[in-house]
Amino acid sequence: MFDLSNYDPDSVSNPNNNIFGLPTTEEDAHLVIVPIPWEVTVSYGSGTARAPEAICKASLQIDIYDPDTPQAWKQGFYMRPTDRKILMKSDYLRKEAELYIDYISRGEDVSANQFMSKTLKDVNSGSNYLNSWVYDQTSALLGKNKLVGLLGGDHSIPLGFYRAIAEKHGDFGILQIDAHCDLREAYAGFIYSHASIMRNALQEVPQIKKLVQVGPRDFSQNENDYIQKSNGRVVTYFDRIIKNRQFEGDTWKHIVGEIVDELPEKVYISFDIDGLDRKLCPHTGTPVPGGFEVEEVYYLFRRILESGRKFIGFDLCEVGISDTDWNSNVGARVLFKLCNLLVASSLPQPA
């Protein structure tokens, strides 16, 4: 077993090593990152399916030091290779979905077109396959007492992980950082659309006792109604409301205190990169003006950790790719923070 305590974090990263340049194997690692190269139901920009590989490459340039959790990396992080079968399946179904989306956007009747009816069925079947695959992968890792994080891909990817987390930990809450609410029902006819992930999670995973959304700024009337009728199971801090409170003199510290108080003891982080200001993620799938600076979100994470709540898993989704490495650079740094938080939360706290 490789002893990371002897690893020199100031050395040049070896490209033959794993994520963040660490010479860690899956067996040695305390935390395993599962890349999910899937973006079948995206409804605007594409490219996120290839983000995990780009982020892994960019991660080699990160200084392995986090002042919030300086020793966490020594527990070992490992990212699995991208599953090419999943990527190929995503590529094929994405093309089918594009044809379908174009067809229905023109007001055509799907039931009157045999080919389009089959396309819709195939896409939904493919999403079911992915959910089962993600469940199998993550459940097996959790059974080995590994910490697990997912790296997308679009935001539809974590449903199978939510099921596995629920079996492992029982009741928990989700902290969702996002520009969108993702509470639509079968958006565009796709049952497991990226725009429906949180609605599906709440309907299919009863152990999710609370969904706390932070930063949504693009949502529908139906989604807003769903939140209002959730009897407190969904609590949403809209970007507009946060900004208005700050304009009128409220502090982010005070608002964060409210957010932390809404969360249960066990917290899962679902981080859609478009929750950040677009300058930090210009090629994300569905960009929206507004959003957070990374340090604002990190401050929230730090306050949750300090509160004694336990992080139990995460997903990072919707990182775009481009000819420059800016998107993957920011994505890699967010991923490093999430890994450190998850590991630090699992370790015994000093008395």
Q: Could you give the C-alpha distances from 308 to 98, 188, 296, in angstroms and in order?
A: 45, 41, 19
Q: What was the pLDDT predicted at 136? A: 98
Q: What does the block give as tokens for 230?
A: 């959730």
Q: Is the peptide bond before 189 cis (omega within 30 degrees of 0)?
A: no
Least confident window among 109-113, 245-249, 328-332: 109-113
11-53, pLDDT tens digit by residue? 888 888 899 999 999 999 999 999 999 999 987 777 899 999 9
Q: What was the pLDDT predicted at 286? A: 87
200-238, pLDDT tens digit by residue? 999 999 999 999 999 999 999 999 999 999 999 999 999
Most confident segment among 6-10, 15-19, 69-73, 239-243 = 239-243
Work out whether strand 147-152 and strand 310-317 pair parallel, antiparallel, or are unpaired: parallel
Whether the CB-CB separation of 350 and 69 falls below 8 Å is answered with no
User: What is the CATH number assigned to the segment(s) 4-346?
Assistant: 3.40.800.10
Whether the per-residue pLDDT at 348 is higher than 90: the answer is: no
Q: What was the pLDDT predicted at 46? A: 77
0.85 surpassed by pTM = yes
Q: What was the pLDDT predicted at 351? A: 45
Whether the per-residue pLDDT at 1 is higher than 60: the answer is: no
For residues 267 and 276, give the distance between their C-alpha atoms in angstroms, rounded to a whole number. Answer: 20
Give domain limits for the chain: 4-346
Look at residues 104, 82, 161, 159 and name the one whose alpha carbon lies nearest to residue 128.
Answer: 159
Q: What was the pLDDT predicted at 349? A: 65
| Total residues belonging to the chain | 351
| Mean pLDDT, all residues of the chain | 94
Q: In the structure, what pLDDT confidence band is assigned to residue 2 with cuts at 50, 70 and 90?
A: low
Q: What was the pLDDT predicted at 350? A: 55
Q: What was the pLDDT predicted at 112? A: 87
Q: What was the pLDDT predicted at 108? A: 85
Whether the CB-CB separation of 142 and 164 falls below 8 Å is answered with yes
- DSSP-assigned letters across all residues of 86-109: HHHHHHHHHHHHHHHHHHHHTT--
Q: What was the pLDDT predicted at 42? A: 87
Q: What is the mean pLDDT of residues 188-208?
A: 96
